């Protein structure tokens, strides 16, 4: 069977897929910038690994599987993917993201870098001698907006710190031992007003774009901290900047943004607003999931699905099932 990997996706992140394969696959790297070469590769592909599939993607008559090397489907035009092909994705990012959220909240209440910098200058502010006191996570309330894989991983770790946990989701349901219950999104405003930290961990869709705007930010505590590790577009850019700048909320921890560079040599500010000038914002470059173990876990899942496909077994992490009889 033939697996096509786009040249633009062949940046080392899929390097371990071959070592996890136990079935017979020929792997071809196709230059997706060369439409003729890419079309030729897709014409014989049984599977393709890519994070995007445009409407003008060349025909793939034998395709049985489009496998995303990540979780988000916002760059996949689903109805442009051949109906005889399944679409699957991978997760595995929730571990690193949950650790990031805990680390960021700890940094917010216990500013280690600032305390270290002060002592390196011979100053003892922040000590038991002179104060001021730093905070604790214990008994703080964490409100989780979007209670999926990431939300649950964060909840398990936050509970170990003695935090109170609240959650709302587009799919409300009973509690799971970590949260008492998962409210519907109608409970969002109330949850915002109760939370010391608000974690945004929703997928981006037409229904969730801009779900946190000026009205929602106004419902937060004046000391509340917004944490966005999901997608920048879930939170209104200008409204968040204004709320932080004017100290209407305590601040923000932002890992997902509104502007991204096209290559690593390009300098690119992540927003049209000067978040970098605000002292109540922690900024990171979409790094929360990017751990030294992520690629291995994701490669293992991709290879598992390729093995399953080759053996005719049910696939895992199915975003869309094949809806017609497959060709070939």
Q: Quick: pLDDT tens for 85-114.
A: 999 999 999 999 999 999 999 999 999 999
CATH 3.30.420.60: does it fit domain 94-283? Answer: no
In the predicted model, is pLDDT for residue 72 greater than 90?
Answer: no
Give me the DSSP letters along 71-131.
Answer: S--TTB-GGGS-TTSEEE-----HHHHHHHHHHHHHHHHS-HHHHHHHHHTT--TTBTTTB
In the predicted model, is pLDDT for residue 70 greater than 60?
Answer: yes
Separation CA 167–CA 157 (nearest Å): 15
Q: 169 versus 72: which is more confidently predicted?
A: 169
Superfamily of domain 2-92+293-320: NAD(P)-binding Rossmann-like Domain (3.40.50.720)
Separation CA 5–CA 55 (nearest Å): 18
In this structure, the dihedral spanned by the alpha carbons of residues 91, 93, 99 and 104, taken in order and rounded to 10 degrees, is: -120
Separation CA 95–CA 99 (nearest Å): 6
Query: How does residue 324 score in pLDDT terms, banded at 50, 70 and 90?
Result: low
What integer is the mean pLDDT of 133-141?
97
Q: Quick: pLDDT tens for 166-210.
A: 999 999 999 999 999 999 999 999 999 999 999 999 988 899 999
The domain segmentation of the chain, as residue ranges, is: 2-92+293-320, 94-283
Percent of the chain clearing pLDDT 90 (strictly above)? 91
Query: How does residue 73 score in pLDDT terms, banded at 50, 70 and 90?
Result: confident
Q: How far is CA 173 from the centre of its chain?
A: 22
Q: Quick: pLDDT tens for 283-307.
A: 999 999 999 999 999 999 999 999 9
Do the first three CATH levels of 2-92+293-320 and 94-283 match, i.e. the same topology?
yes
Please tell me the total number of residues recorded for the chain in this structure.
Answer: 328
């Amino acid at each position: 069977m033939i697996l096509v990997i786009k040249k633009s996706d062949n940046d080392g992140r899929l390097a371990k897929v071959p070592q996890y394969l136990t079935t017979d696959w020929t792997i071809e790297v196709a230059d997706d910038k060369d439409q003729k070469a890419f079309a030729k590769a897709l014409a014989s592909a049984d599977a393709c690994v890519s994070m995007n599939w445009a409407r003008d993607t060349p025909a793939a008559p034998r395709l049985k599987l489009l496998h995303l090397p990540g979780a988000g489907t916002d760059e996949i035009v689903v109805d442009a993917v051949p109906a005889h092909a399944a679409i699957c994705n991978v997760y595995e990012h929730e571990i690193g993201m949950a650790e990031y959220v805990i680390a960021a909240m700890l940094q917010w209440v216990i500013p280690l870098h600032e305390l270290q910098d002060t002592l390196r200058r011979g100053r003892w502010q922040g000590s038991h001698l002179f104060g001021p006191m730093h905070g604790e996570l214990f008994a703080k309330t964490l409100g989780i907006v979007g209670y999926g894989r990431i939300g649950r991983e964060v909840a398990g770790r936050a509970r170990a710190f003695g935090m109170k946990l609240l959650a709302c989701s587009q799919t409300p349901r009973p509690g799971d031992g970590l949260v008492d219950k998962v409210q519907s999104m109608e409970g969002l405003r109330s949850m915002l007003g109760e939370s010391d930290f608000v974690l945004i961990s929703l997928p981006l869709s037409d229904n969730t774009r801009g779900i946190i705007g000026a009205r929602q930010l106004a419902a937060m505590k004046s000391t509340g901290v917004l944490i966005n590790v999901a997608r920048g577009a879930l939170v209104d850019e200008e409204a968040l900047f204004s709320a932080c700048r004017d100290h209407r909320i305590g601040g923000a921890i932002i890992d997902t943004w509104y502007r991204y560079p096209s290559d690593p040599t390009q300098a690119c500010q992540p927003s049209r607003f000067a978040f970098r000038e605000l002292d109540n914002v922690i900024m990171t470059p979409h790094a929360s999931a990017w751990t030294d173990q992520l690629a291995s876990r994701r490669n293992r899942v991709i290879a598992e699905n390729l093995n399953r496909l080759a053996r005719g077994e049910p696939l895992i992490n199915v975003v869309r099932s094949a809806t017609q009889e497959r060709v070939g």
